[in-house]
Amino acid sequence: MEAPFTEGVSYLSRDEERTAISKAHERRDRPRETGEIDVKDTDTESLQFVKLVREGIEAWLALGETRASYLNIPPPSHLGAVIGSGGFPATLNRFQKRLVHQLIEAEYPKLRSIGKPTFVQIIPYDEARERDVANDRVRRTEERILKQTGARWIAEALAGGDLTRLDPGYFMGIMANSASVEGKHSLNEFAQRFKLRLLANRPVLVGHNLFTDVIYFCSCFFGSLPERVEDFQTLVHGLFPVLIDTKYMATHECGSINPASSLSEINDSLEDVKIPSIVVDPTHNKYDSQKLHHEAGYDSLLTAQVFIKLSSQLRNGGIPMDPRAKSFVPKRDVYAELSELSLDSSASCTSSTSGSSAMEMTAKISRKAKPSQKPVNWQQQEEVTRIRSAFAHRTKFDLLTDLAEETEDSPESEMPTSANPLAGPTEPHLLAFEDEEAIAQKVKDGELIPRFGAPFWKVYGNKLRVFGTEERVCILGKVKSQKS
């Protein structure tokens, strides 16, 4: 039960760090206070103690240049004496120390009191020394803040935050296990290069039912959330340019029905999908023989599997989970078959076609269509384009890499459009391959997921499923119009 407190992971949010540093600077720059001695007239014992301290200070000051550089209260000569018999106590308690500090502040502006474990030391006030002591206190506070930043360094690395103050020692283990280093760089050089790579190559974050997770993540590690939903959408998109919610992918265009969309249910519905091939390192076989739902590692594995399989199935003309059948329904590539279909004027329809009519038309086209691997040239086949619009809510997935526009039913999210949206200026060709055509064919065949610069992710990327709300989806980025 006490493990979170005795063995927990420390972290400070950005807001907490700013607050701590601000308070440290405020204490340093605060003018010296002149307070009063907080003793009641009826507290004769405390009044007697203050009188003894005052007499000791006056006697020390009267010595002039011959006096020692400091005065201890109680003086060493009074060790063993007891209060009430005309002498100081052997040691001072917290209340007595406070009375000494208050006396110095109230009556002796040219002196300075320093608390010690069992006594108080009084020294002459030196402005330069006090300034150095205050700056040193701020420095120690900043060092403690860096140490307590803890797990937020991971969040900063994910969000492209400032890593300049991250201690190079954190990279020692990575450097020791890096076969590419070969003694070429010192630890500081290796850490600096690693930090630059982290900033240049922003990760793609994938999760299931991410909305509340993102809320808590941002609140814990970055600070208070904005009051407006639109500002939250912009904030999250700035932190995480590419964010994928597998729950949204599985329930895309599900209408007003809330389909079964738990992680385990979606994973079970995709159990028979064998391509792309997913292989887990044999040294990490814990989940080969047991299902440990809600354990972090197991849920992460399921989320990764669902993400890969859904990306492949939807890319090749699959349709999302059927709310009634509670299963994912793979569908053959209708648009590829349309490439050799001759359509007469009676087959045309508009984007206002009802869902039932669209399904009937899909079945009709499927009976007439001949299998083909040729890509559809939508710009030259206007009739096919109109049919595509009619079926956009069911089968628009397979040719999304060729489409620059989306239907009104599927608002676009702000996704990077480059081939490698996450690569910085230092590594612009991170995802470049020697055989681009072979890679593109593997993507088309469902062996690889679409690249994150493909228009496919304008439909599925940066959208979080939020059932129970009017919008039912949170689109990340700068939203032009949003209901309040």
Q: What's the 3-state SS for the chain?
A: CCHHHHCCCCECCHHHHHHHHHHHHHHHHCCCCCCCCCCCCCCHHHHHHHHHHHHHHHHHHCCHHHCCCCEEECCHHHCCCCCCCCCCCCCCCHHHHHHHHHHHHHHCCCEEEEECCCCEEEEECCHHHHHHHHHHHHHHHHHHHHHHHECHHHHHHHHCCCCCCCCHHHHHHHHHCCCCCCCCCCHHHHHHHHHHHHHHECCCEEECCCHHHHHHHHHHHCCCCCCCHHHHHHHHHHHCCCEEEHHHHHCCCCCCCCCCCCHHHHHHHCCCCCCCCCCCCCCCCCCCCCCCCCCHHHHHHHHHHHHHHHHHHHHCCCEEEECCCCEEECCCCHHHHHHHCCCCHHHCCCCCCCHHHHHHHHHHHHHHCCCCCCCCCCCCCHHHHHHHHHCHHHHCCCCHHHCCCCCCCCCCCCCCCCCCCCECCCCCCCCCCCCHHHHHHHHHCCCCCCCCCCCHHHHHECEEECCCCCCCEEECCCCCCCCC
Shared domain for 224 and 181, answered yes or no, is no
Query: What is the number of other CB atoms lying within 10 angstroms of the CB of residue 346?
Result: 6
Q: Which domain holds residue 121?
A: 14-129
Shared domain for 391 and 319, answered yes or no, is no
Shared domain for 230 and 359, answered yes or no, is no
**Distance between CA 130 and CA 109 in Å, rounded?**
13
Shared domain for 52 and 74, answered yes or no, is yes
Shared domain for 297 and 408, answered yes or no, is yes
| Domain termination site, one of 357, 377, 395 | 395
| Domain termination site, one of 395, 416, 439 | 395
φ/ψ (deg, to 5) at 136 = -65, -35
Shared domain for 265 and 302, answered yes or no, is yes
Q: What is the pLDDT of residue 77?
A: 60
Shared domain for 252 and 295, answered yes or no, is yes
Closest by CA to 37, choosing from 125, 112, 107, is 107
Domain membership flag for residue 410? yes
Domain membership flag for residue 142? no
Residue 367 token pair: 């009976």
Domain membership flag for residue 136? no
| Domain termination site, one of 379, 395, 411 | 395
Shared domain for 104 and 160, answered yes or no, is no
Measured distance between the N- and C-terminal CA atoms of the chain, rounded to whole angstroms: 42
CA dist list (Å): 404 to 161, 266, 300, 336, 389: 32, 30, 33, 18, 14
Shared domain for 25 and 99, answered yes or no, is yes
Closest by CA to 122, choosing from 69, 49, 200, 59, is 69
Cβ neighbours of residue 345 closer than 8 Å, sequence gap 6 or more: none
Q: What is the pLDDT of residue 468?
A: 86
Shared domain for 382 and 408, answered yes or no, is no
Q: What is the pLDDT of residue 132?
A: 92
Domain membership flag for residue 1? no
Shared domain for 453 and 407, answered yes or no, is yes
Q: What is the pLDDT of residue 19?
A: 94
**Distance between CA 171 and CA 178 in Å, rounded?**
10
Q: pLDDT tens digits for the chain (484 residues)?
A: 888 888 888 899 999 999 999 999 998 888 877 777 888 888 888 899 999 999 999 999 999 989 999 999 988 765 444 444 447 888 899 999 999 999 998 999 899 999 999 999 999 999 899 899 899 999 999 999 998 999 999 999 999 999 999 988 888 888 887 765 556 778 888 889 889 888 888 888 999 999 999 999 999 999 999 999 999 999 999 999 999 999 999 988 776 777 778 898 888 888 888 888 888 888 888 888 888 888 888 999 999 999 999 888 886 554 444 544 444 554 433 333 333 332 332 332 223 333 333 333 333 333 333 333 333 333 343 333 333 333 333 333 333 333 333 333 455 667 665 544 544 444 444 444 456 788 778 777 777 888 877 888 888 999 999 988 888 999 998 766 544 4
Q: What is the pLDDT of residue 480?
A: 61
Domain membership flag for residue 135? no
Tell me the torsion sign for CA atoms 115, 118, 120, 123: negative
Cβ neighbours of residue 106 closer than 8 Å, sequence gap 6 or more: 34, 35, 36, 37
**Distance between CA 457 and CA 463 in Å, rounded?**
10
Domain membership flag for residue 3? no
Cβ neighbours of residue 50 closer than 8 Å, sequence gap 6 or more: 37, 39, 99, 103
Domain membership flag for residue 293? yes
Domain membership flag for residue 2? no
- The letter for the amino acid at 392 is A
Q: How many domains is the chain built from?
A: 4
Shared domain for 373 and 267, answered yes or no, is no
Closest by CA to 271, choosing from 333, 330, 209, is 330
Q: What is the pLDDT of residue 83?
A: 44
